[in-house]
Structure 1
Amino acid sequence: MNELLQRGSEHFASHFGGTPDGLWSAPGRVNLIGEHTDYNDGFAFPIAIDKRTTVAARARADRLLRVASSSFPGVVEVCLDDLSPDALTGWAAYPLGVAWAMSQAAGRAGGSAAAGSPMAGVDLALTSDVPAGAGLSSSAAVECAVALALDDLWGLGLDRQELARLGQLAENKVVGAPTGIMDQSASLLGEPDHGILLDCQSLQTQSVPLGFAHARAGLLVIDTRTSHSHADGGYASRRRSCEDGARSMGVGSLRALGPDDLPRAAALLDDQTFRRVRHIVTENQRVLDTVAALRTSGPAVIGTFLNESHVSMRDDFEISTPELDLAVSSAQEAGAVGARMTGGGFGGAAIALVRDDDAGRVAEEIAVSFARAGYTAPHIFPVTASEGARRER
């Protein structure tokens, strides 16, 4: 973390000169289970991970926002008065979209131009070790780090649930990705060795002990290096199918349905829409079953739920890829407790819950399987449940 903060300070100095007023960071996330349930008002169970995005920021004496990223060349500039969803494009839409959402929440497009006052301009420099395009929510890490920094510099005093909502608003309205609120919630609310049970209808959260350290187990991330974008059509079409299914079933969202409703859904819906609905309904139940098992028996017994989740995403929701399927099957065959793809799908990463003693062998077997199939070598690394967004300095 110290190295990442040092890089952040140096990156800020190289673009804007001098030192920042502070450094803030936010983690990426792994969704342990509960995929595509968030925008259906369902349940999700993510963890914040020990890969983070940092933002070095300094208030300005005018109304100019300037943002630089170590992942992209140049500096993007925009006046606070010109912020709008239509005016923001490319990578800068993520941090500047948050600034727009927060200006909306503050209820004013104006404000004092004095440095440090509400809605003054800010210089922002982003650095990150969250792999982009891997399904680990690098975008939410950016949004949450920037949101926390702007909340401090502008003195808005927003709570973390509201910051999560504003990050989601930025991604929906500015970036154009129809995502739910899970990623931002995980990045802002994470705790070490805990998962976050998120009720996406009420937005209530519960911190649930994972018990991984006690069980001598942990998570491997298998980044298949096949990138995806939530703004692409596949994600949006799945969301439309869910909305169509809920409407046909006469409910406001698929959260209102349980496993006992599936026979009626099968009779009423076309095959594809039914399978989309079945994934959401059964995935919600798997989230609750996983949390109950962790509370009563520990992580050794949740493998079945992880494995079933992947099958559901592969066959019913159809968001997996050959690379993700191979990562999961290879991990299972090598002795993982359970494995599944994670994130929005159409590429990205899988996760495997492994015993500490098995981690090296599981990673090696996955790499061999990818080489045998002629796929690009995956990036395999362990992650631990981490603290959420925070001010570092």
Structure 2
Amino acid sequence: MKVNSDSSSALQKFFGPNQILVQATSPGRMDVMGGIADYSGSMVLQKSISQKATATIGIRNYNQLHIKSLDITSQNEIYIDLDEIPNNYNEAQKYLRNIEGGDWASYIVGCYLVLSNEKKVKLGGLDILIQSEVPVGKGVSSSAALEVATLKAITELFHVELTDTELPKLAQMAENLVVGAPCGLMDQLASYFGDNNKLLPILCQPDKLYDLVEIPENLYFVGIDSGVKHAVSGASYSEVRTAAFMGYSIIAQKIGVSKEDLRAKKNSELPFGGFLSNICPSQFEADFARSLNSMYGKDFIHDFGVVTDSLSVIKPDTFYNIKACAKHPIYENYRVNSFKQLLKSVNEHNYEDMLPIMGELMYQAHESYNNCGLGNEMTDKIVNMARIKGYQNGVYGAKITGGGSGGTVCLMVYGEKGLQSAKQLFEDYQEQTNQNSLVFFE
């Protein structure tokens, strides 16, 4: 939407008095089910949170980007000459990593570059002011919220028309290719299409959206911040993703696909549509599980040679837990679809029959994260506290969210009793861990 630079003191200080401005917002999201199975083609269920990122943008008379963040206490303002930044994404990533403030600014600059390059739009200089309520490193997609808000503002300012899932795809490209984080498309889709009062089902093959699912009355999905920051650009997330694609490659070669075909063919031409999640659990256990052994990257390269994912980097001296990482999306897709059907039934039947099963699916998903190596003792602590609260206190399930290795735990609670139990659990956790800056997401 268009705004006036006189509408707030922050805008007055940053923008010119008569500058035409466009402002856009986008929320963070909570991963109720699906998580790290997105890049393997799973169904996921996502819920928007109330916290939003805001980008306010105006045309600048100089051929540079002037970017300021109101959330960063130091190095929060940066000027980037557009003549200096490379158009090539890899080169732009290196350039931004070598300048002061380039780490946080890469999310915004990445959006600018992919929109300019992919849509062939002449953008020119911009003044960009960003502010976000979405806390960083909590597993609630602060980066996706910022990227989507930035792209929404730029496309409105320049009247760029995008269709269907095009904007989230551009946001993902910015994070993958310019920021250098190998995230799936789930976060950006959820930030763009999500709803705070409903769950958004996405089949990540790569971006099939289903109708929003109503959250039944008196059922709540709330988040408890563990206080442990995580980042999808971290090594453990990348290694789990790589191990999953190593598992797919082993399975495909076991049933006769050549290395050359894995390199050259599209997903649609490969077994299971190129996605692990299209393998049903029983077939996995019967036909493939025994073929997946943990191994060093150099041994995989020697024996199997190739993965189908361009973002997976096989490190020769890294030891990969291939079976657990390949098993997770196969079982998670089954869990998510089961959870979705049970959720639809809660409105039609007695909740006491459905919620314990849904909660067990969440607990199973959490343990599967741990088996992949993306658990954390503090998120485990919250999940165990939820188990102890139990059905009698309205707490039915809990699981780590997003990329794992810390971040937020999503709880499923029922009724006012369950909501109060979750808030009490949050307060108890704060007291036990002596952390006063944690966030409770409703």
TM value normalised by structure 1: 0.87
Alpha-carbon spacing, 1:47–1:369, altered in 2? closer, same or farther (3 Å) = closer
In the alignment, which of 194, 204, 223 is matched to residue 200 of structure 1?
204
Mapped contact 2:430–2:438 kept (Cα < 8 A)? no
**Paired residue secondary structure (1:379):** coil
Q: Deviations over 1:152-205 (max 9, x none)?
A: 112211125111011100101111110000000001011342211111114110
**Paired residue secondary structure (1:31):** strand
Q: 2: distance between equivalents of 1:266 and 1:7?
A: 62
Q: Say yes or no: does 1:269 pair with 2:269.
A: no
Q: Which residue of 2 aligns with 1:286?
A: 335
Q: Which residue of 1 aligns with 2:298?
A: none
Q: 2: distance between equivalents of 1:333 and 1:380?
A: 21
Mapped contact 2:241–2:325 kept (Cα < 8 A)? no
Which aligned pairs between 1:124-135 and structure 2 lie closer than 5 A?
Answer: 124-135=128-139
Q: Deviations over 1:111-152 (max 9, x none)?
A: 3xxxxxxx1322111111111110000000000000100111
Q: 2: distance between equivalents of 1:132 and 1:42?
A: 25
Q: 2: distance between equivalents of 1:17 and 1:289?
A: 54
Q: Tell me which amino acid in the other structure corresponds to 2:56.
A: A
Moved over 6 A (4+): 5-8
Q: 2: distance between equivalents of 1:378 and 1:341?
A: 19
Which aligned pairs between 1:68-83 and structure 2 lie closer than 5 A?
Answer: 68-72=68-72, 73=74, 74-83=76-85
Mapped contact 1:135–1:349 kept (Cα < 8 A)? yes
Q: Tell me which amino acid in the other structure corresponds to 1:228.
A: H
Give the number of the structure with larger relative contact order, counting CA–CA contacts within 8 Å between residues 6 or more apart. Answer: 1
**Paired residue secondary structure (2:36):** coil
Q: 2: distance between equivalents of 1:23 and 1:236?
A: 34
Q: 2: distance between equivalents of 1:256 and 1:331?
A: 32
Q: 2: distance between equivalents of 1:332 and 1:13?
A: 50
Structure 1 position 7, deviation (Å): 12
Structure 1 position 11, deviation (Å): 2.6
Mapped contact 1:30–1:343 kept (Cα < 8 A)? yes
Q: Which residue of 1 aligns with 2:39?
A: 39
Q: 2: distance between equivalents of 1:169 and 1:16?
A: 29
In the alignment, which of 357, 368, 374 is matched to residue 428 of structure 2?
368
Q: Which residue of 2 aligns with 1:29?
A: 29
Q: How many residues align?
A: 366
**Paired residue secondary structure (1:228):** coil
RMSD: 2.3
Q: 2: distance between equivalents of 1:164 and 1:318?
A: 28
Alpha-carbon spacing, 1:322–1:11, altered in 2? closer, same or farther (3 Å) = same
Which aligned pairs between 1:38-117 and structure 2 lie closer than 5 A?
Answer: 38-72=38-72, 73=74, 74-84=76-86, 85-86=92-93, 87-88=95-96, 89-107=102-120, 111=122
Q: 2: distance between equivalents of 1:218 and 1:8?
A: 36
Q: Which residue of 2 aligns with 1:342?
A: 401
Q: Say yes or no: does 1:308 pair with 2:364.
A: yes
Q: 2: distance between equivalents of 1:6 and 1:81?
A: 28
**Paired residue secondary structure (2:363):** helix
Q: Say yes or no: does 1:257 pair with 2:279.
A: yes
Structure 1 position 210, deviation (Å): 2.9
Structure 1 position 28, deviation (Å): 0.2
Q: Tell me which amino acid in the other structure corresponds to 1:308.
A: Q
Q: Deviations over 1:253-311 (max 9, x none)?
A: 31332212222222101153111111111001111111111222247522222121112
Q: Which runs of 5+ in 2 are unaligned?
A: 87-91, 97-101, 253-270, 295-320
**Paired residue secondary structure (2:374):** coil
TM value normalised by structure 2: 0.78
Q: 1: distance between equivalents of 2:283 and 2:40?
A: 16
**Paired residue secondary structure (2:372):** coil
Q: Which residue of 2 aligns with 1:389?
A: none
Q: 2: distance between equivalents of 1:266 and 1:192?
A: 38
In the alignment, which of 203, 214, 228 is matched to residue 210 of structure 1?
214
Mapped contact 1:208–1:291 kept (Cα < 8 A)? no
Structure 1 position 23, deviation (Å): 1.7
Mapped contact 1:190–1:196 kept (Cα < 8 A)? yes
Q: Which residue of 2 aligns with 1:324?
A: 379
Moved more, 242-251 or 64-73: 64-73
Q: Tell me which amino acid in the other structure corresponds to 1:223.
A: D
Q: Which runs of 5+ in 1 are unaligned?
A: 112-118, 384-393
Mapped contact 2:32–2:221 kept (Cα < 8 A)? no
Q: Which residue of 2 aligns with 1:388?
A: none
Q: 1: distance between equivalents of 2:235 and 2:184?
A: 16
**Paired residue secondary structure (1:77):** strand
Mapped contact 1:132–1:138 kept (Cα < 8 A)? yes
Which aligned pairs between 1:213-228 and structure 2 lie closer than 5 A?
Answer: 214=217, 216-228=218-230
Structure 1 position 357, deviation (Å): 2.3
Q: 2: distance between equivalents of 1:151 and 1:61?
A: 19
Q: Tell me which amino acid in the other structure corresponds to 1:376.
A: Q
Identity %: 26
**Paired residue secondary structure (1:337):** strand
Which aligned pairs between 1:169-248 and structure 2 lie closer than 5 A?
Answer: 169-212=173-216, 214=217, 216-248=218-250
Q: Tell me which amino acid in the other structure corresponds to 1:363.
A: K
Structure 1 position 360, deviation (Å): 2.2
Which structure is larger by alpha-carbon Rg, 1 or 2?
2
Alpha-carbon spacing, 1:46–1:244, altered in 2? closer, same or farther (3 Å) = same
